[in-house]
Amino acid sequence: MPDTMKAVVKTKPKLGAELQRKPIPTYPPDWVLVKVRATSICGTDVHIYKWDDWSDKRIGAKNLPQTLGHEVAGDVVEVGAHCKRIKVDDYISAETHIYNPGDLNAMLGQLHIGDHMQILGVDCDGAFAEYFAVPESVCWVNDKSIPPEIATIQEPLGNATYTVLGEDSDVAGKTMVIIGDGPIALFAVGVARVCGLAKIFIIGKYDFNMNIAKKLGADHLLYANKDDVNRIQYIRDHTGGSGADIVLEMAGSQQALDEGFQVLRKGGRFSAFGVSADPKPAIDYNNGIVFKGAQIHGISGRRMFDTWYRNRNLLASGRLDISPVITHMFKLEDYKAGFDEMMTRPRHSAKCVLFPSSEEFEAAKKRRGVK
């Protein structure tokens, strides 16, 4: 074991991050130490990288320096003295919501929304490094057939799975509108397809991402930024006049909220995942929710560990193929190129994966047939 490692560290409360050499993390006896094989850039990392208002309030300059990153796959190299379940050499990913078992929500089975929950890479050092430490309680053992570049994106995939399935998984044969075309909306298309939705509409903005949505199984592509088609009428016309059974709001804009409630059928489910930049966006409460008999489902994180279990099965079986969402891969030291891709508009990237080791990077390129 070396004494130091490469890590991408947020050092200052302004745009950017630094590649540093840091000591290998120390950790409590119920945590494990993991050698990172792949790690991926999330929208949350982009917020922190830019250091926007959310980062300033949520993390705060006084808590820097801190290693970025939370989406990860790697091999366990050490386990703390109190660990029982996870063993050295286990190939794991981390559920990033580090729950507190004493929280009421955790005791009621909602591990992902406890009051004292911490988030990897937000409340503690993350995984954009050669090694990271994480509690045994949130380690998820991967199927060895799932390659690291896919295993690392299971965390956001879990958001998509939870949003698609809702609390009752009553989706087969139904119609769904997905609003947004970021990576999680794209994953949602793939999950919806394998879970038996009869008709999938996506409302997005960028051709690059809409083409990926089509590959993953979207039936109808509608553009939020073009007015050539009346989107509300189009969806009603293609759902027998009633509107969609399920709407996934994954854009967080006022337009998405307005249109989402309008295209939802009476008695349908509206799943709210997109975070609005406006702290109190307007909602047509009477007509959109009350008289419509709508079910509203807020999503923060993913059901633990139900979504992990289903995704592992779907990925290992080959039934769910989300590989088109990975559009870029870089060595960890080239993180800046990854963040640049993620911040460019119009979008020409979906998911960027980083590899601390050159061998893993080369192996992934070979698997994906890229030079």
> Three-class SS of residue 114?
coil
SS (H, E, C) 23-66: ECCCCCCCEEEEEEEEEECCHHHHHHHHCCHHHHHHCCHHHCCE
Please identify, using beta-carbon distances, which residue of 71 and 136 lies nearer to Zn ion. Answer: 71
Residues 6+ apart with CB under 8 A from 209: 181, 182, 185, 186, 347, 350
CB of 298 to Zn ion, least distance (A): 17
Contact 271, 294 (CB under 8 A): no
Q: What does the alpha-carbon distance between residue 102 and residue 120 come to, in Å, rounded to a whole number?
A: 19
- Residues of this chain, 309-338, that bind Zn ion according to CB under 5 A: none
Please identify, using beta-carbon distances, which residue of 45 and 245 lies nearer to Zn ion. Answer: 45
Please identify, using beta-carbon distances, which residue of 120 and 177 lies nearer to Zn ion. Answer: 120
- Residues of this chain, 243-272, that bind Zn ion according to CB under 5 A: none
- Residues of this chain, 120-159, that bind Zn ion according to CB under 5 A: 156
Q: What does the alpha-carbon distance between residue 89 and residue 72 come to, in Å, rounded to a whole number?
A: 15
Q: Look up tokens 């290693």; give the residue.
A: 67
Please identify, using beta-carbon distances, which residue of 175 and 271 lies nearer to Zn ion. Answer: 271
216 scored as a contact of Zn ion (CB under 5 A): no
CB of 58 to Zn ion, least distance (A): 14
Output the six-digit token pair for 117: 């929950």
Please identify, using beta-carbon distances, which residue of 265 and 351 lies nearer to Zn ion. Answer: 351
Residue of 157, 189, 149 whose CA lies nearest to 331: 149
- Residues of this chain, 10-49, that bind Zn ion according to CB under 5 A: 42
CB of 159 to Zn ion, least distance (A): 8
Residue of 231, 248, 256, 250 whose CA lies nearest to 182: 250
- Residues of this chain, 63-102, that bind Zn ion according to CB under 5 A: 71
DSSP state of 239: T
Angle made by CA atoms 88, 363, 339, in degrees to the nearest 5: 90
CB of 42 to Zn ion, least distance (A): 3
CB of 78 to Zn ion, least distance (A): 25
Please identify, using beta-carbon distances, which residue of 93 and 262 lies nearer to Zn ion. Answer: 93
Size of the site for Zn ion (CB under 5 A): 3
Catalytic positions: 44, 47
- Cα–chain-centroid distance for residue 119? 13
CB of 171 to Zn ion, least distance (A): 23
Amino acid at 115: D
Write out the residues near Zn ion by the rule CB under 5 A: 42, 71, 156
